[in-house]
Structure 1
Amino acid sequence: MHPRTTTASPRAAVAVALATALALVLSMVVALLSVSPPAARADTGFRVENGRLVDAAGNDFLIRGVSHAHTWYLQETGSFADIKALGANTVRVVLSSGQRWTENSAADVANVVSLCKAQRLICMLEVHDTTGYGEQSGAATLDQAVDYWLRVQDVLEGEEDHVLVNIGNEPYGNNESVNQGWADDTIAAVERLRGAGFEHTLVVDAPNWGQDWQGIMRRDAPLVAAADGNTVFSIHMYGVYQQESTVVSYLEHFSDAGLPLIVGEFGHDHSDGNPDEDAIMEHTRRLGLGYIGWSWSGNGGGVEYLDMVEAFDPDRITPWGERIFHGPDGIGETSVEAPVYGGGGDPTDPPTEEPTDPPTEGPTDPAGECTAEFRITNEWSGGFQAEVEVTAHTALTGWTVTWTAPSGQTVAQAWNADLTSAGGTVSARNAAYNGALATGAATVFGLIGSGPAVAPDPTCAAA
């Protein structure tokens, strides 16, 4: 027996087709309504945006921080509050992955993060065992550093807006053949962390003990940036950066290329040469780049002068501590609390361009080739910080400012001018780059002094 078949009229066929199409559309609408829309990406954590480090809300965050040697001084937990009290917005915390020193446990890392948050500090965590790999015996590889981060991952999840992960400190020494693998090894380390679920902003150090004198990070940073858009590059500036021109060249290379950079370590002196800390602080401010000084306290091996305070005592601040916390372009002058803690706005930086208005103080009827105004900008027990503004009243090719220091007052250091002192008379001559002034133009030099915070009455003359 054959099945029965029927033939529908054209009108009936059209009606059936329309009904079928309508049913299909309705079913799609029901399906869409029954499925929740995909959640928008949560605005959590730091990120890199247009070559800048920004927070979850898109606010620029300018790192102004201090390194703390936590792994060797576990008992010094009060340092977090002391560092914050002097104005830092970030603390870079030394941890060990176990290859060279005792491994910091996940519980200890969680406590460090809680200490940072309690003091409203951003926590940059770094593995120190990688220091000098390829030259330093026993140094850990970046791959071993990643192994450590995976061991402590559980206590870092959800802390993306409070924690930055500095994968490994100074991960290569001066072995050039090993250093050429910096980009490939760094990309592999970043990809392992991302694959494991790390969403934190990552920080990667340069080779050559962090100083990149071979220019490897400078050359290959774009490769790393192309592989991961949430990675910040860190240069350590010690003896390689004795000249202002060297500092400026390196910083501007990254800034001009739109690559995120911080000065992850620097000091005021070092066994391999005397870095230009004034230039580092001035030009990071000018370019809007972060910096972290080395280090709070506990240095040994002949570099004790890099302690900012003696014996972890904030009341015993050292000359380096005075410079980085209280000096020009220092932490006290340029640091702003992270927006995640309610901070924001611009630090009270000096202007980066010449003022268009005349000073509100000083001579109102200038005479002579130039005038100078001495201003106390900060003071503390036994010392002070000052700036001197030189204004040209005719075109100058150079200038000299002279004053008689009040009784008991001496100048400890200066920047943007060369100072000499004899018998209570202080003379400041322009630096090579700020002597030429057009009529009406001005420049500023600064100094740190000891003794009474009293402004003398300086005179200015063409040199």
Structure 2
Amino acid sequence: MKRRLAVLAAVLITLTASVLTFVNPAYAATGLHIEGRNIVEANGNTFVMRGINHMHTWYAGQTGSFADMKAAGANTVRVVLSGGRWTANTAADVTNVINLCKANRLICVLENHDTTGYGEDGAAYTLDQAVNYWIGLKSVLTGQENYVVINIGNEPIGNTNPSQWTAATVAAIQRMRTNGFEHLLMIDAPNWGQDWQYVMRDNAQTVLDADTRDNTVLSIHMYAVFNTASSITAYLDHFQSRGWPLVIGEFGWQFDSGQVDDQTLMAAAQARGIGYLGWSWAGNTDPILDMTNSFNAASLTTWGQRIVNGANGLKATSKEATIFGGVQPSSPGSSSPSPSSPSPSASSPSPSPSNPVPGACTATYAIAGQWPGGFQGEVKVTAGSAVKSWTVTWTYANGQTVNNAWSATVTSSGSTVTARNVSYNGTLAAGQSTSFGFLGSWTGTNSVPTLTCSAT
């Protein structure tokens, strides 16, 4: 009897250990991670990507686009980088990109574009080479797990021998983990990202199991292969039914019947809690896929209007990551109707400078977009000398109100508004600038107030 009890106890201990192992996934203790099929923040809050792709490696000077994409409702930006196929993005540049994301309260998906079309495009890099690039950047990526997702390689296999994708992807994930990366990893499909031969779909579990940290999300790119509602929903449902984490890492719009059914895509993603990242803000060789005209946030294209202001678009469905704290600036529809157009009205006032305080700071107020009953404001703060914190105040003359704000803590008392820096943008060197934005309401007149800026 004692022997049986001892055996039974051993079995129970083994089963208990197995259960404990099962319910304690090996994701990073802090940072974005996977639970089931969801992306989750360190505090347990589910985060659904709603964002835009930005071709940074070819347009590194367009740093203002980060604030513009945030103002358009994005909670995530997928940033195109290169390790050498094009002009390499250095550690210093990547650090600046991460800081731009954080300053604009955006989750930053960093992707290596060098791998695009490997096996079919002779210039493409291998996934192993992409991992080398990330290893070279490890010093600036470590510690950013709350804010950064690493998309190891963009569209890493073309249409030639797509079956090689599985082994190459498994090896890349394992090398990333062996080299100490704790970040959430994003994995693109083969077939130029569109997986029309279903290699990713049919080998998804093998790839997910390869991650010792259980912290990988799969990414499908949807273009002409997904030009019908049924093709989109069938693909998404396959992953959902199996509990596999998936995001739509790129997609365009249905500018003709042979292109992706973007309206179904956004609605289906919203219904299933799946993230999506539209391609792209601006700069395409074929501008049909540009969301803006020449990076001008006030001039949205048809595609831009669809993804920014559509029924299941960014402004209607995006929620800011809770890591940034404060109010949720990305869903203005909850407090005021979404605009039919984000473009400034013809009568929008010019930017108004603050009353300068010598040696402290100045601030400039501008109306970035205006529509019946609502508007988007932006304030730029510039330090006259080195400062550690700043405060901007103004008083509205026409009854305007601030509803949501980002990159500043904004409070109102009657018609007086006070904006204070947040943790990451209070310290400014002499001559350095930062900015914050907000969504407001107005009736009748929307005049620009006079600002006062003070700093310590």
TM-score interval for Structure 1 and Structure 2 normalised by the shorter chain: 0.5 to 0.7
**In 2: Cα distance, 1:90 partner to 1:180 partner:** 31
Equivalence for 1:67: 53
Verify the 8 A CA contact 2:227 2:257 in the aligned structure 1: no
Equivalence for 1:86: 72
Q: Is 1:329 the equivalent of 2:329?
A: no
Equivalence for 1:190: 173
Cα deviation, residue 227, structure 1 = 1.6
Choose which of 162, 171, 188 in structure 1 pairs with 2:147.
162
Distance 1:134 1:283, change over 3 A: same
Q: Is 1:136 the equivalent of 2:121?
A: yes
Alignment of 1:350-361 (within 5 A): none
Distance 1:346 1:122, change over 3 A: closer
Aligned amino acid, residue 170 of structure 2: I
Verify the 8 A CA contact 2:217 2:247 in the aligned structure 1: yes
Aligned amino acid, residue 40 of structure 2: V
Choose which of 222, 245, 248 in structure 2 pairs with 1:263.
248
Equivalence for 1:201: 184
Choose which of 224, 235, 240 in structure 1 pairs with 2:220.
235
Aligned amino acid, residue 236 of structure 1: H
Verify the 8 A CA contact 2:316 2:338 in the aligned structure 1: no
Q: What per-residue deviation string (whole Å, max 9, x for no partner) do you get for residues 177-207 of structure 1?
A: x311211111100110100010000000000
**In 1: Cα distance, 2:55 partner to 2:82 partner:** 10
Choose which of 40, 54, 57 in structure 1 pairs with 2:43.
57
Verify the 8 A CA contact 2:49 2:277 in the aligned structure 1: yes
Cα deviation, residue 269, structure 1 = 3.9
Alignment of 1:30-41 (within 5 A): none
Counterpart of 2:177 in 1: which secondary structure? Answer: helix
**In 2: Cα distance, 1:116 partner to 1:378 partner:** 25
Distance 1:224 1:200, change over 3 A: same
Aligned amino acid, residue 44 of structure 1: T
Distance 1:155 1:271, change over 3 A: farther
Alignment of 1:378-457 (within 5 A): 378-380=339-341
Cα deviation, residue 379, structure 1 = 2.7
Distance 1:42 1:289, change over 3 A: closer
Equivalence for 2:417: none
Verify the 8 A CA contact 1:336 1:343 in the aligned structure 2: no
Cα deviation, residue 50, structure 1 = 1.3
Q: What per-residue deviation string (whole Å, max 9, x for no partner) do you get for residues 219-270 of structure 1?
A: 0001011121100000000000011000000001111100000000001147
**In 2: Cα distance, 1:273 partner to 1:185 partner:** 31
The number of residue pairs the alignment matches comes to 317
Cα deviation, residue 43, structure 1 = 3.9
Q: Normalising by the residue count of structure 1, what TM-score does the alignment of the two structures yield?
A: 0.65
Equivalence for 1:320: 303
Counterpart of 1:296 in 2: which secondary structure? Answer: coil
**Looking at CA atoms only, which structure, 1 or 2, has the larger radius of gyration?**
1
Q: What per-residue deviation string (whole Å, max 9, x for no partner) do you get for residues 5-49 of structure 1?
A: xxxxxxxxxxxxxxxxxxxxxxxxxxxxxxxxxxx9974111100
Cα deviation, residue 347, structure 1 = 8.4
Cα deviation, residue 58, structure 1 = 1.1
Distance 1:270 1:102, change over 3 A: farther
Aligned amino acid, residue 53 of structure 1: I
Q: Is 1:222 the equivalent of 2:205?
A: yes
Cα deviation, residue 271, structure 1 = 9.0
Equivalence for 1:304: 287
Verify the 8 A CA contact 1:337 1:343 in the aligned structure 2: no
Counterpart of 1:76 in 2: which secondary structure? Answer: coil
Verify the 8 A CA contact 2:320 2:330 in the aligned structure 1: no
**In 2: Cα distance, 1:116 partner to 1:172 partner:** 28
**In 1: Cα distance, 2:104 partner to 2:328 partner:** 19
Higher RCO (Cα < 8 Å, 6 or more apart): 2
Fraction of identical pairs, as percent? 52
Equivalence for 1:146: 131
Aligned amino acid, residue 104 of structure 2: Q
Which contiguous aligned blocks of 4+ residues in structure 1 show a shift greater than 2 angstroms? 40-43, 269-273, 343-350, 376-383
**In 2: Cα distance, 1:378 partner to 1:86 partner:** 11
Q: Is 1:48 the equivalent of 2:9?
A: no
**In 1: Cα distance, 2:250 partner to 2:69 partner:** 16
Cα deviation, residue 273, structure 1 = 3.0
Choose which of 257, 262, 273 in structure 1 pairs with 2:258.
273
Gaps of 5+ in 2: 1-25, 345-456
**In 2: Cα distance, 1:136 partner to 1:209 partner:** 10
Q: What per-residue deviation string (whole Å, max 9, x for no partner) do you get for residues 91-130 of structure 1?
A: 00000010x2011101100110001000010000000010
The CA RMSD over aligned residues, in Å, is 2.6
Aligned amino acid, residue 380 of structure 1: S
Verify the 8 A CA contact 1:269 1:306 in the aligned structure 2: no
Cα deviation, residue 377, structure 1 = 6.1
Counterpart of 2:186 in 1: which secondary structure? Answer: strand
Choose which of 154, 163, 167 in structure 2 pairs with 1:180.
163
Distance 1:336 1:382, change over 3 A: closer
Q: Normalising by the residue count of structure 2, what TM-score does the alignment of the two structures yield?
A: 0.66
Verify the 8 A CA contact 2:298 2:343 in the aligned structure 1: no
